[in-house]
Amino acid sequence: MTNAHRRGGAVTAAGRFAPSPSGDLHLGNLRTAVLAWLFARQSDRAFLIRMEDLDRVREGSAERQLADLAALGLDPDGPVLTQSSRRDAYDDAIATLQAAGRVYECFCTRREIQQAASAPHAPQGAYPGTCRNLTDTERDERRRAGRRPALRLRADVTTRAVHDVLLGDHTGVVDDLVLRRTDGVPAYNLAVVVDDAFQGVDQVVRGDDLLSSSPRQAYLAGLLGLPVPEYVHVPLALGPTGARLAKRDGAVTLRDRLDAGESADDVLAEIAASIGAPGCRTVGDLAVRWRPDLLPREPWYAVGRDT
């Protein structure tokens, strides 16, 4: 079931920005949100916001994130969806896969997976299938030892090709990915696939560090009979040392910048310059002047102000 959205009276597809409410958004997050909004607007899609709050939630973060996005002019075209309200949908998806014989219990610890995955024969980043063919007796032994199982997908391919608007064709690893963690929380890859289909999201704009997730998610969508979205993986924002941008780099959140005397328009202008549209100070300006071919393909080294 999908959740259709209307713009100008017509039902339309959607793009989205889906942060985790674990803290304030930094300039790199805000830049990705601006790009998601622009790609959606320039392809006549709705723009949606989803809070991926199944894990690592910090009280008040969701409200602050939404306020920061609104300050930049990034208001969604529909209600904000929270993943914590969607547990039944994830359970239903897992039940569908179980009925097709696509799910098994995995008792591996994180250390065991890391050690097995480092073996010479294991594809980089892939689960090695340690628990794939356990017998009933072996599973019972692990339960008696106090181990709680995760649920994994029983994949029947090892790679999947996807197409990215900016990066072209990409073939990546598909393995027996986790569907539900040992603590009962639905896994990221499952939730993203189920929610994108529910919201009518057919364009996914996100950081290029998540490119490796796309083959797994596209494969899982196919198994569930769900559409595969258009992927747009954009360059990350990095700090001055080349590491991912973080609070250690100074005033890198909108609130930090406002406290330092800047305006939301000043921050948006900085983001606009980083995506190839210097001089734009509002998202309205960007919608008129920006084009995807202006976006630099290399990472953006953001400059944090002193705090």
Annotated binding residues for ATP, as ranges? Answer: 247
Distance CA(214)–CA(172), nearest Å, equals: 8
- 247 annotated active-site: yes
Question: Rounded to the nearest 5°, which phi and psi values hold at 136?
Answer: -60, -40
Question: Rounded to the nearest 5°, which phi and psi values hold at 164?
Answer: -115, 135
What 8-state DSSP symbol labels residue 297?
A: S
Please state the residue numbers annotated as binding site.
16-20, 52, 106, 108, 127, 131, 188, 206, 247
Residues 6+ apart with CB under 8 A from 250: 256, 304, 305, 306, 307
Cβ 183 vs Cβ 110: under 8 Å = no
- The total of other beta-carbon atoms located within 10 Å of residue 226's CB is 18
Out of 247, 255, 281, 289, pick the active-site residue: 247
Cβ 173 vs Cβ 162: under 8 Å = no
Distance CA(292)–CA(156), nearest Å, equals: 36
What 8-state DSSP symbol labels residue 256?
A: H
Distance CA(18)–CA(21), nearest Å, equals: 9
Please state the residue numbers annotated as binding site for Zn(2+).
106, 108, 127, 131
For residue 285, give the nearest of 299, 297, 271, 305 by alpha carbon.
271
Distance CA(144)–CA(243), nearest Å, equals: 43
| Amino acid (1-letter code) at residue 1 | M
Distance CA(91)–CA(75), nearest Å, equals: 30
What are the catalytic residues?
247
